[in-house]
Amino acid sequence: MKHIKFRQYLLIFLFLGLLFFPMLNKSNFLLKDSENTENREPAPKPELTMKNLDPFPLQYEKFYNDHFSLRQRLMKSYYDLNLLVYHKTPIPDQVVLGKNNWLFLGGDEVDVYTGKNRFSSEELNTLKKELEYRQNYLAKQGIKFYFVIAPVKATVYGENMPENIIKLHEESGGKQLVHYLNQNSTVTCIDLYPIMKRYKQSGLLYFKNDNHWTKRGAFIGAMQIVKTIQYDFPTLNILSLDSMRINSTITTTGNLTAMLSKTKLFVDTIIELTPKNGFCTNEIQKVGYPVVKGFPYPWEYEMVREQKDTTLPKLLLISDSFGGNLFPYISEPFSRSVKIFDSWQYKLNEEIVKAEKPDVVVLIVLESNIRNMLKYLSLK
């Protein structure tokens, strides 16, 4: 009972601090923050005009709340207090605190883990037809098509999920789709879950403070994809972990800790993997394909890598953010590789296919984003 009261008093004290710090700021007692630690842009200062008389008070309130001194530090203190005292995040629908100080992205990724996001029979059939349409479209041009499902972190490291998050179904929507395609379609579907499960004891495959895979996890995924493609292109070379130089550094950063006001409470490891003999491919200038309107990371939309051996096949990779760490490794066996991050739409991108004339098209979809494909169908 004493512990509960103590925690309540701490939260009350912090709440009072949030109330009175703005008043102290008016007297210029406090310095302004040096950085914004929330995962959004601060509200801009509004202009008072005849056209915005009605919304001006609310706009100014938002501006003031975002810019008064030490607000970011107070937010960070509030988040840290919740994490230390209650062992939970103040935004559990966005970030989940698991066992052994593992952080997980909430929402769709938790739904994947619990099995809540499973597909209906109609959705499975629609996805099958869409993938078969792409396979046939590309086959007419002599291009091989491979569909890859990248598992979410929670399915690979489910033992670190909190006990209060209960599985509704053992088979996630991603696994459900893999089984359906294997039984009902000729589309080559590469499920990376088994290989991740096999290698996770030998090194960190996903960040603890981020929902993405590490470069080690990306490398293992890339080589599993190349291994499958090798059945159709026997000359492709598969790199081994033994051929890689591995370095690691300690960090407290990650997209999940950023969402928790850049808390420094969680330690993670950044893993660097580089071939001992150097990369065969080099990143070159982008072609400049039109970026999807509204895409928040336009600098990540397109990447191109090439090597000197022009006799090797060419690759077009359509992916999401998981393609970033994977791209340098999967491009190694190819003469030219182009990666397109098309704002989570996972389209066929016919114009880029026509321009690049690849031998191989690989579509990588994060397990929690598969349903996005139903929004952007090539087959109407």
Asked if 172 and 149 count as a contact pair (C-beta separation under 8 A), the reply is no
CA gap 38, 53 in Å, rounded: 29
The closest alpha carbon to 218, from 369, 332, 88, 86, belongs to 332
CA 66 vs CA 26, 61, 186, 265: distances in Å:
14, 9, 54, 24
The distance from CA 101 to its chain's CA centroid, rounded to whole angstroms, is 19
Query: How much of the chain is in helix, strand and coil states, percent to nearest 5?
Result: 45, 15, 40
The set of long-range contacts for 5-11, using a CB threshold of 8 Å and a minimum separation of 24, is 7/85, 7/86, 10/81, 10/85, 11/81, 11/85
Q: What is the pLDDT of residue 266?
A: 86
* pLDDT tens, N- to C-terminus, the chain (380 residues): 555 555 555 555 555 554 454 444 444 434 444 445 445 567 776 664 545 445 545 564 566 566 555 556 666 666 666 666 657 787 888 999 999 999 999 999 999 999 999 999 999 999 999 999 999 999 999 999 999 999 999 999 999 999 999 999 989 999 999 999 999 999 999 999 999 999 999 899 999 999 999 999 999 999 999 999 999 999 999 999 999 999 999 999 999 988 887 788 889 999 999 999 999 999 999 999 999 999 999 999 999 999 999 999 999 999 999 999 999 999 999 999 999 999 999 999 999 999 999 999 999 999 999 999 999 998 76
What pLDDT is attached to residue 251? Answer: 94
Q: E strands within 73-231?
A: 95-97, 103-105, 144-150, 188-191
> Is the Cβ–Cβ distance between 79 and 258 less than 8 Å?
no
How many CA atoms does the CB half-sphere of 12 hold within 13 Å?
6
pLDDT at 24: 45
Residues, the chain, total?
Answer: 380
How far apart CA 94 and CA 379 sit, in angstroms, is 33
Phi, psi at 376, each rounded to 5°: -130, 60
